[in-house]
Structure 1
């Protein structure tokens, strides 16, 4: 949480199987990535502190949204 706001990061996988948030630093396992960013923020908004438990975060409002449409 960053001042009460949840931040999301996409964690892609490189061709060699390593995970990264920034291609400048990659990790062989997700566990190592999380441990690293738990010690220092190094480019993230904040240092990772604790996981969000399922159901702890409210789902985003989706009323009025539609699939595969374009507004002109």
Structure 2
């Protein structure tokens, strides 16, 4: 029974060490994904919000000048 405890302890330490190494890699991957999404959103063409009052005002100016 004395041999099983050190083996279990070593397996636990190994699992913990692997998780500690994997967690930063996952966090870096998530940060890179978010960065890529932000870049893609930045370069997508945006629809202009048109103000109906401004359009009407522009039409009135064109009618008045013409």
- TM-score class, shorter-chain normalisation, is under 0.3
TM-score of the aligned structures, taking structure 2 as reference length: 0.19
* Larger Rg belongs to: 2
TM-score of the aligned structures, taking structure 1 as reference length: 0.18
Name the structure with the higher helix share.
Answer: 2
Which structure is higher in RCO with an 8 Å CA cutoff and minimum separation 6? Answer: 1
